[in-house]
Amino acid sequence: MNQLHLFQVAILAAAVGTTGTLWAEETSDADRVHRAEPVDWNKGGGEQDEALHLEPDIENGMDVYEVCAACHLPEGWGTPDGTFPQLAGQHRGVLIKQMADIRAQNRDNPTMYPFSLPQSIGDAQALADVVAYIESLPMNPVWGKGPYGPGTEEYVLGEQLYKDNCVKCHGEIGMGDVEKFYPRINGQHYEYMVRQFEWIRDHKRRNANPEMVEQIKNFSDKDMKAVISYTSWQPVPEEQLADSADWKNPDFE
């Protein structure tokens, strides 16, 4: 058992002690967000602005990322079943905003919360460092795609729904918008996106963009799965992908 594996075991053990049970994440998260009140989507200020304006130290970010690697994997690829999202390649500003929201309890994630705190990963500088490191990681070339690929009726439906509702914010192929904190969604796991879409639509994610909540409020489950499946099939620029699905992060060998 190597050093990173030992570290991961320790982190997972700590999660069980802190949150009750790590494997109950989806149930506990859903219950908690269902009870939560909405918050301002992007009021800025505080730690978010502080971290955004700091010069990141990538080397320190790599050290901090050891805490994250236990769940998101050393490569930052998460898991295709949607338990953990792919973080690699995500916009630095988006990552800072989401981390700052979790730390300030403006986004509910009981499993991640104890590991996001300053006593676990550090202050605003550490936050700036780790997200810069994550953004620099190559993405998984075989991320989890949805069930409706090109040539299916659902793909055609999803394409139309995407063009009518999503392209304005997330772009033609899902690259998002760095300046407006819209995440890139190409390359993200289908199952993770479905869960987040459903929570946003059903008012179960407190830090959701209210414009998106309004935009998708009338989506049926069929519509949701079609548009997310279409999104999951959108390409990622080749230069942002790892050479193969077997790539291992050399920083953690």
Burial class (CB in 10 A: 0-12, 13-18, 19+), 13: exposed
Q: Among candidates 172, 154, 175, 171, which has minimal Cα distance to 225?
A: 154
Place of tokens 């981390």: 99
Q: Tell me: pLDDT of 78 over 80.
A: yes
Q: Tell me: pLDDT of 41 over 80.
A: no
> What token pair was written down for 160?
């139309």
Q: What is the pLDDT at residue 1?
A: 42
Q: What is the DSSP string of 9-51?
A: HHHHHHHHHHHS-GGGHHHHHHHHHHHPPP--S----HHHHHH
Q: What is the pLDDT at residue 39?
A: 58
Q: Tell me: pLDDT of 101 over 70.
A: yes
Tell me, what amino acid is at 65?
Y
Q: What is the pLDDT at residue 253?
A: 86
Euclidean distance between the first and the last CA atom of the chain, given in angstroms as a whole number: 12
Tell me, what amino acid is at 107?
R
Q: What is the pLDDT at residue 18?
A: 39
Q: Residues with Cβ < 8 Å from 213, sequence gap 6 or more?
A: 200, 201, 203
Q: Look at phi and psi of residue 20 and say left if phi exceeds 0, alpha if psi is from -120 to 50, else beta.
A: left
Mean residue pLDDT of the chain comes to 88
User: Which residues are paired to 139 by β-bridges?
Assistant: 241
* Number of CB atoms found within 10 A of residue 214's CB: 9
Average pLDDT of the residues in 74-99: 97
Tell me, what amino acid is at 224?
M
Q: Tell me: pLDDT of 52 over 80.
A: yes
DSSP state of 204: -
115-156 pLDDT, tens per residue?
Answer: 999 999 999 999 999 999 999 999 999 999 999 999 999 999
Average pLDDT of the residues in 175-203: 96
Give 3-state DSSP helix, strand, coil % of the chain, rounded to 5.
55, 0, 45
Please state the pTM of the whole predicted model: 0.85
User: Which residues are paired to 177 by β-bridges?
Assistant: 182
Average pLDDT of the residues in 107-122: 94
Q: Tell me: pLDDT of 198 over 80.
A: yes
Q: Residues with Cβ < 8 Å from 137, sequence gap 6 or more?
A: 75, 76, 87, 88, 89, 249
Q: Tell me: pLDDT of 40 over 90.
A: no
Q: What is the CA radius of gyration of the chain?
A: 18
Q: Tell me: pLDDT of 35 over 60.
A: no
Give residue 42's pLDDT band: very low, low, confident or very high (50, 70, 90): confident
Give residue 87's pLDDT band: very low, low, confident or very high (50, 70, 90): very high
> What token pair was written down for 251?
């920083």
